[in-house]
Amino acid sequence: MLKNFWYAVEFADQVGRQPKKVTCLGQDFVLYRTEAGMVTCLSDLCVHRGGALSMGSVTGDCIACPYHGWQYDSAGVCVKIPANAEERKIPRKARVDAYPTVERYGMVWAFLGDLPEAQRPPIPVLPEHDDPTFRRVQYEMVIDANYERALENVVDASHTPFVHGTAFGNPDKPGIPDFRIRTGDWSAEADIQLSPPPPKGLWGLLAKRKPRPEYVTVTNGWYLPNLVKLHIRLPIGDLLLYDFNIPLSQDRTLIKIIGYRNFFTGGWADANTRKRIEMILLQDRPVVESQRPELLPFDLSDELHVRSDGLQVAYRRRRAQLIKDGWWVGGDDIITGDVPRRKATIIPSPARRDNPELASAWVHKARNGGATS
Ligand code: FES
Ligand SMILES: [Fe+2]
């Protein structure tokens, strides 16, 4: 799992004034909106006795822990300890990590890492979002598989005729013509020719009037840390799926999908679009959950790659560089999680690096290095 990236952690319409717990990189966070409507993202772990702030309550711009009522502001600084006499000073260490947040494309993005603003990798661009000819839907599902296995599945064109049969691929024509990969620092994309199956159901009715092409171009790509794009050009229009693979833990993934279509743009077709997205995921799910080893190997030579696996190989190479740079949060770093522990570690937030005078202000140690570990 990679720190130092913007992670889309929740749909924006799911976050209000009530505290909302989200999980990413094997750590819990609490989201809530301030009075001005800005989303705050704090570590969900109270430094006093480890209460979950997400079970507490929001007053003004502060959140109160449900256990002894300590109040933290939106920068994560404790501003009130109810059991203390008024004149007693609040300890400097009474603070939790706060993570920068941005709302974009109907998602809440949190920067999970301690890089200064100028060094942060960019949030991927979703050009269809502001295009009025596109209609947006959102969908989510949890699967019991590693998020990188899930991510690679989406950019893997050669599985479609086998896993999706005639729903999506064409079992009679499983060949993948060679494709060229466009790589950037944080992404890789390719236009891949797939033989299309005849469209069925509602979408098929309209497509019948159009001649069926021999190949359709599907644009497939990954954008670090965990987004994959699938742009399908159907005879009736374009369908784009942006698929966020959120690592709840190393072996459990919350898949959040935003779909854009420029056909049947009335709200009446939203449920049908969501059903199609769900059908695709339900076909992929048992295969991805059955993959062994569960975690993506670090060494390229640990699995066999062929020409059509180019996007996955590009992903593994880029990831290997970032691991070398120290951005990896692996199993050994995860102290909180689904087994009982005595010690907690936290993804370091920018305040740790920005304020050297706070170097010793943190109770919970940074996970996998970080400025103060
Ligand atoms: S555990 Fe949060 S106030 Fe005591
Ligand atoms: Fe698939």
Atom index in ligand 1 nearest the CA of residue 46 equals 2
Region class of 4: left (phi > 0), else alpha (psi between -120 and 50), else beta? left
Q: Cβ distance 137 to 273 under 8 Å?
A: yes
Percent of the chain with pLDDT strictly greater than 70? 94
Residue 207 predicted with pLDDT over 80: no
pLDDT of residue 160 exceeding 70, the answer is yes
Does residue 56 line the site of ligand 1, with CB under 6 A?
no
C-beta of 46 in contact with ligand 1 (< 6 A): yes
Name the region of 180 (left: φ>0; alpha: ψ -120 to 50; beta: rest).
Answer: beta
CA 284 to centroid of ligand 2, rounded, Å: 5
Q: Residue 358, SS3?
A: helix
In 3-state terms, what secondary structure has residue 301? Answer: helix
Backbone angles phi, psi at 249, to 5 degrees: -150, -170
Count of beta carbons in the 10 Å neighbourhood of residue 58: 21
Residue 57's DSSP bridge partners are 64
Exposure string for 175-205, b = 16+ CB within 10 A, e = fewer: ebeebeeeeeebbbbbebbbbbbebeeebee
Ligand with an atom nearest the CA of residue 43: 1
CB atoms within 10 A of CB 311: 24
- State the pLDDT at residue 332: 64
Indicate the top mutation candidate among 28, 30, 46, 79 to test ligand 1's pocket, ranked by most ligand atoms within 8 A of CB: 46
pLDDT value of position 168: 72
**What's the CATH fold of domain 11-119?**
Rieske Iron-sulfur Protein (2.102.10)
Average pLDDT over residues 169-174: 86
Instruction: Check if CATH label 3.40.50.300 holds for domain 127-322.
Output: no
| All CATH 2.102.10.10 domain ranges in the chain, comma separated | 11-119
Distance from C-alpha of 237 to C-alpha of 46, rounded to nearest angstrom: 49
Report how far Cα 320 is from the mean position of its chain's Cα atoms. 19
Query: Ligand 1: does its nearest atom lie under 6 Å from the Cβ of 67?
Result: yes
Cβ atoms of 326 and 348 closer than 8 Å:
no
Residue 368 has pLDDT above 50, yes or no: yes
Rounded Cα–Cα distance for residues 316 and 152 (Å) = 10
Q: In whole angstroms, how far apart are CA 148 and each of 151, 288, 297, 298?
A: 5, 10, 10, 11
| Mean pLDDT estimate for the chain | 92
In this structure, what token pair is assigned to residue 129? 């979002």
Q: What is the pLDDT of residues 284-328, one digit of tens each?
A: 999 999 999 999 999 999 999 999 999 999 999 999 999 999 999
pLDDT tens figures, 258-296: 999 999 999 999 999 999 999 999 999 999 999 999 999
Q: Residue 249 Cα, ligand 1 centroid: separation in angstroms?
A: 25
Task: Tell me the mean pLDDT in the region 139-144.
Answer: 98
Residue 106 token pair: 């109907």
pLDDT of residue 369: 58
**For position 311, what pLDDT does the model report?**
98
Whether the CB of 49 sits within 6 Å of ligand 1 = yes
What residue owns the CA closest to ligand 1's atom 3? 68
Number of H helices, E strands in the chain: 7, 20
- Which one has a higher pLDDT value, 255 or 340? 255
Which residues belong to CATH 3.90.380.10 in the chain? Answer: 127-322
